[in-house]
Structure 1
C-alpha cells in the first residue's frame, strides 16, 4: 500500500514531521513493505516558514524586532531573490508561544513586531510579501502592522494611540501622511485557512481571544473595538472588508492587511500544496490513503483549516482521507459527512494532558499499529 502523509503539527508535543514519522513507524509495524510520500504542510500558522523553506530557494534574514508586548526580539523571515518575495510568519514576532501563560492578554498585545519585519523586507527590495497568519497572541485588527508602516491611529483629542487591542475602541481617525508611497509598489498576500469574519459571534474575539487569555468581559470589549475600527476604516477608505471570509484570522490581522495594504487572501493549505507540486505527483502515482491530522480536531477544524484542505485534495483524486489527532472534540457523524473516512484519536483518556503531550509520539505509533492491525 502507498500512503500520502500531510499532517499538521500536534501543538505542544510533535512537529508535523514528527507526526508523519510516527504515522509511518506505526503502519510499518503491520505493513513493512508500505510506501510513503510526505508533504511538509502548513495552513499559514506555526510552521509556515519551515514549509516554505522546503519548496522555495531562500535567504534567511534576521532582524531585531519586537514581541507581542514590545520587547526586543531577534526575528527571522525568508527572502527569495529571484521573485523579490519575502515570506513572513506572523507568529515569529507576534505569536502566542512567545508569551508565558501569565503574560497572555490580547488587550495589550500588538502585531507591531510583524509590521517591522514587513518594513525591513520592503527596504531590502521585497515587492511580493506573503504573511502566514496563525498562532497569534493578538487581537488588534492589524493596526500594529499598519503602525509600523506609517499609519497613525488617533483618538477624539487627536492623540496618538498605541496599536494594541484595548485601543481599538478609541480609534477615531487614521493619519496616512507618513505612509510611504513605496507600499503601492508592493503586492501583499495574507495566507491563512480560517473563514471567520472580523467581528460577531463567529469573529476574531469571540472565537480566538479566549485562548489568548481573554475573559468574557474582555472578549466583548475587543469585539466592540473591532467593530469601531471597521466603522472608522469604512468611513475613511470606503472599504468594507469585515465580512470577508478569513478577515478575523490572527485577531483580525487579515482584516488589517486587506484594509491598509490591499492584501490578497490566499488559502493556506492550497498555497503550500501548490508549492509542493503534489498534484503533479498524484497524477502519475497511485495512493491508497491520505493521512492528515492535528493535535485537536474541533469546530475550528471545520472552519477551513489544514485538515479540510487536505480533504478537498482527497475528494479531487478520489482517495480516502484518514485523520489522526490527539483529542477529538467533534461528532464522528459530522466528520463522516465532511467525507473523512476515519479518525484515529491517540490520547489515553485515563491519563492527564501532560502525560499525553509527553508521550504523543509513542501513543501515535501504537494507535496507527492498532488501527491497521484491525484493518487487515
Structure 2
C-alpha cells in the first residue's frame, strides 16, 4: 500500500482546494483502491486561504457585514478554526478589488476600513491568533482605514478627522493612537503575504501595484508622496519606522499599517498554511505528494502553493507531481525547484468556460492515468 498526500491550492473560479483534493482522490482510487490518501487543502495567503484552512484544520466561517472599498456595504468572512482561538481573514473579502466594478477602481478613494472591521469582529469572538491574507486588495491607503476602524484617529492640522482613502494623507498632521482597541496588544497577528516591496519609492506599493488598482501615472506619484508623508509621521510621532521594511508595501501599504499599529509579523503565505495544516508531518509518511493550482508557469516558484509544497517534500526526498488547468511559459523551470513533473489536466483545446465547468472530471481522469503508471 502506498500513501499519497494530496495538497493542492484551489483552481480559481472553478474548485476550492478541498474539491480539488476530492477529485484527485476519486481518480487515484479508481486505479489504486487499496492506497491511502491524505487530503490537505492548501493556499498561499491569497484568495481561498480562509476556506482552505477551515477545510484542512476544521472550524467554520462566519459572515460579517462591513464597509467595502468604496464604503458600500459588503459581506465579509472570518474563519474560526477548531482550536477556538485562531482566526483567519482575507483582505479581499472586505477591501478587495473584485468588490467594485473596473470603472470604479480609484486607489485615491478606496479604503481598508472594512478590513479593520473584520479584525474587530475577530477580537469580539475571542480570537488570540489572527492570520491575515493580504492578496487582492483595491486599496492604497497605508492601512489607515483599517486602523481607523480599530480606534486610531488621523487628524489634519486643525484636529479634524481626515476622510477615508489615500488621497487625503498629505493633509495628515496628527496620528492619535490613544484610543486603539486595547485587545490588539494581546493578539498575535500573522500577515500572510509574499510581497517584498517597501511602502514607498520606485518599487513601493503605489508604483508597482497602483496601476493594477486603477491609478494613472499622476495618481501613482500622488499616492507615493502621500504614503511617504504618512511614513514620516509614523516615525516621528509613534517611533514606528516602516517605510523601507521589505513587505510593508503589501496591499497598498496595509502591511505597513499592521506593523505600525499592532505587534504583527510578516510571513510567506504558503508557509503559514503549511504550519497550520500540519503538512510536514503528513509528507513524512508519504510515498507521493500531489499538488497543483489553476495555472502553473515559471512564476509559481515565487511563493505559490505548488512551490511551497515541493520545498517541504524535498526535505524528505518525496516525489512531487503538480497538476494544473493550464501549463504556461517556462513551467519546466520548476523542475529545478523540487517539482518532478507537471501535468495539464485538459484533454484538448477548449474554451475557458468549458475548462472551468469540467475541472473536476479532468482532474479525476488525469489522476486515474497517473495512478496506473506510478509504481
Name the TM-score class by shorter chain. 0.7 to 0.9
1:246 equivalent to 2:247? Answer yes
Alignment: residue pair count: 374
How big is the shift at 1:186?
3.2
Hey, what does 1:287 align to over in structure 2? 287
Hey, what does 2:309 align to over in structure 1? 310
Using the alignment, how far apart are the partners of 2:211 and 2:326 within structure 1? 19
1:324 equivalent to 2:323? Answer yes
Contact residue 270 and residue 303 of structure 2 kept, 8 A: no
Say if 1:195 and 1:6 are closer, same or farther in 2 by CA, change over 3 A: farther
Alignment partner of 2:131: what SS? Answer: strand
Say if 1:281 and 1:336 are closer, same or farther in 2 by CA, change over 3 A: closer
Say if 1:371 and 1:123 are closer, same or farther in 2 by CA, change over 3 A: closer
Hey, what does 2:9 align to over in structure 1? 8
Equivalences for residues 119-138 of structure 1 within 5 A: 119-138=120-139
What per-residue deviation string (whole Å, max 9, x for no partner) do you get for residues 113-172 of structure 1? 111122233344444433233232323221111111122223466543233233345544
What per-residue deviation string (whole Å, max 9, x for no partner) do you get for residues 255-299 of structure 1? 21111112122333333323322333333x2322x2222223356
How big is the shift at 1:68?
1.9
Hey, what does 1:231 align to over in structure 2? 232
Say if 1:120 and 1:220 are closer, same or farther in 2 by CA, change over 3 A: same
Using the alignment, how far apart are the partners of 1:218 and 1:329 within structure 2? 33
Q: TM-score, normalised by structure 1?
A: 0.83
Using the alignment, how far apart are the partners of 2:10 and 2:201 within structure 1? 29
Contact residue 348 and residue 356 of structure 1 kept, 8 A: no
Hey, what does 2:45 align to over in structure 1? 44
Bigger drift between 189-198 and 35-44 goes to: 189-198
Say if 1:364 and 1:79 are closer, same or farther in 2 by CA, change over 3 A: closer
Alignment partner of 2:5: what SS? Answer: strand
Query: Can you give the 5+ residue segments of structure 1 that lack an aligned partner in the other structure?
Result: none
Hey, what does 1:184 align to over in structure 2? 185
How big is the shift at 1:106?
3.0
RMSD of Structure 2 on Structure 1 (CA):
3.4
Using the alignment, how far apart are the partners of 1:78 and 1:109 within structure 2? 24
Query: Can you give the 5+ residue segments of structure 2 that lack an aligned partner in the other structure?
Result: none
How big is the shift at 1:374?
7.5
Bigger drift between 228-237 and 200-209 goes to: 200-209
Using the alignment, how far apart are the partners of 2:343 and 2:61 within structure 1? 37
Say if 1:56 and 1:213 are closer, same or farther in 2 by CA, change over 3 A: same
Using the alignment, how far apart are the partners of 1:18 and 1:188 within structure 2? 29
How big is the shift at 1:112?
0.6
What per-residue deviation string (whole Å, max 9, x for no partner) do you get for residues 277-334 of structure 1? 2333333x2322x222222335653332323321221121111222222334442343
Using the alignment, how far apart are the partners of 1:306 and 1:10 within structure 2? 11
